[in-house]
Amino acid sequence: MAFADAYFSKQKGFKPFFSESPSEDLRYIVVIPAYREPDLTGSLDSLFKCTPPEGHVEVIIVINIPENADQTVVLETRKNASVASGWIKDHNRREFRFLLIPFSVMPAKEAGVGFARKMGMDQALYRFNSLNNPRGHILSFDADSQCDTNYFTAIEETIQKHPLTKGFNLYFEHPLSGNDYPAAVYRGITLYEMHLRYLNLFVRYTGFPHAFHTVGSCFGVRADVYAGQGGMSKKKAGEDFYFLQKIIPLGGFREINNTCVMPSPRESDRVPFGTGAAIHKYLKSQGSVILTYAPACFFSLRSFFMLAGSLYTMSEEEVNSAMNKVQEPLRTYLFENRASEAIREIRANSGSLLTFTNRFFKWFDAFRIIKYLNYASRTSFRQISTNQAVRDYLQVTGMPAPPENTAATELLNLLRKIERSRA
């Protein structure tokens, strides 16, 4: 019995798509969902030019389209699939193989990047399962992204150095200038990436142990871990975030900062949130700023998280007293979310401080943090510009704050430097 047989027994309707058997040396499978992606071959070329790792590589491209798409989109998709197929014929080799699902029509109710990513990742898992190789790795990439040439070797080096790695994300940088998009797009992506990095850094500042970026083109997961956590989410947006919230708390999740993925800065109206939606909203509003959470939102979180260890040894009366001393608006948020009851249950099911802490942060997870930040922004702390937020973060963490007229690109590069320097 192979390691993922139980997973596939629960996947109704799954069928292996490819007749070619995988190489016995297969270690990495990159999955790329592609819907209306005229520049897909640019991303394939970027992967093809990478320094090859010791293990063999496959790239699975899922050309997908909703069943209710209009004829123009159907014709465009067929053309893109034909171009990709031609490119693949000229580039396939034994140790680096490209596999195409050329025209996958998806139910309108489920069609989206989550469904497509899951389709490709399930095919990847099946191929590793056919080799009974639970330690193969499934990598997530996008059809409009590029990467450094050491993409595979940096991943391989991390896995060799840390063999218990269950999943990882890769350092990323959006392009901030060029001729591919209007200047407003580059201004917008600069501000949006500032927001992403500021948010991740400030959440880490609170003491939350699972603060990692969750970008769809920049992560990987071990095959047995993918199967064990029920596979990729089918959600039409945020599938990367939802999936990684299952993987990160398991432990053994790492950041790989010695390579770089370059996601596209383009706008999109396909999904309600994420990079494309943020840029679409920025362009539509013709604004000069993107807003983010005020530092005050994070201070009460930091104080509360510092209590986490103490809560394990407190009596119920002491826990309630501690809850009443939490700063507003977090105190009301905790009350409305029945925090005292949750903590009581966590304590009752924890035989050690370590178990309690792990359970506590599975309860107060990244979902709950974002919900709290939105609640605090609505009720107490008005959102501020990303430029101001970055200066505030630097001051709070003891770093010199740049002058108020510092360009957004300079502020972003400061955050990039801080994040990339992390081990």
What pLDDT, in 10s, does the model give residues 273-282?
A: 678 788 888 8
Q: What percent of the chain has pLDDT over 90?
A: 77
Is 399 contained in some domain?
no
- 288, 319, 348: which is the final residue of a domain? 288
CATH of the domain at 262: 3.90.550.10
pTM exceeds 0.85, yes or no: yes
Domain identity same for 112 and 44: yes
Domain identity same for 304 and 283: no
Q: What is the distance between the alpha carbons of residues 229 and 366, in angstroms, rounded to a whole number?
A: 17
Average model confidence (pLDDT) across the chain: 92
Domain identity same for 51 and 140: yes
- 241, 257, 288: which is the final residue of a domain? 288
418 C-beta neighbours (distance < 10 Å), count: 15
pLDDT at residue number 346: 95
Is 33 contained in some domain?
yes
Of 73, 97, 102, the residue nearest 85 (C-alpha): 102
Domain that holds residue 45: 5-14+23-288
Is 390 contained in some domain?
no
Domain identity same for 192 and 313: no
pLDDT at residue number 102: 85
- Tally of structural domains, the chain: 2
Distance of CA 4 to CAs 1, 116, 226, 242, 300, Å? 8, 20, 9, 21, 43
Distance of CA 417 to CAs 155, 173, 414, 421, Å? 20, 11, 5, 6
Domain identity same for 271 and 305: no
Domain identity same for 233 and 357: no
Is 410 contained in some domain?
no
List % helix, strand, coil for the chain (3-state, nearest 5): 50, 15, 35
Beta bridge partners of 97: 58
Is 257 contained in some domain?
yes
135 C-beta neighbours (distance < 10 Å), count: 14
Domain identity same for 81 and 164: yes
Domain identity same for 313 and 266: no
Domain identity same for 58 and 126: yes
- 288, 308, 342: which is the final residue of a domain? 288
Domain identity same for 150 and 168: yes
Domain identity same for 212 and 329: no
pLDDT at residue number 272: 57
Is 307 contained in some domain?
yes
Domain identity same for 235 and 302: no
Q: Which residues of the chain have pLDDT under 70?
A: 104, 108-111, 236-237, 269-273, 287, 423
Q: What is the distance between the alpha carbons of residues 181 and 201, in angstroms, rounded to a whole number?
A: 28
Q: What angle do CA 127, 130, 132 make, to 5 degrees?
A: 110
Of 17, 1, 2, 10, the residue nearest 231 (C-alpha): 10
Beta bridge partners of 198: none
| DSSP notation for 300-365 | HHHHHHHTHHHHTTS-HHHHHHHHHHSPTTHHHHHHHTTHHHHHHHHHHT-SSHHHHHHHHHHHS-
Is 411 contained in some domain?
no
Is 59 contained in some domain?
yes
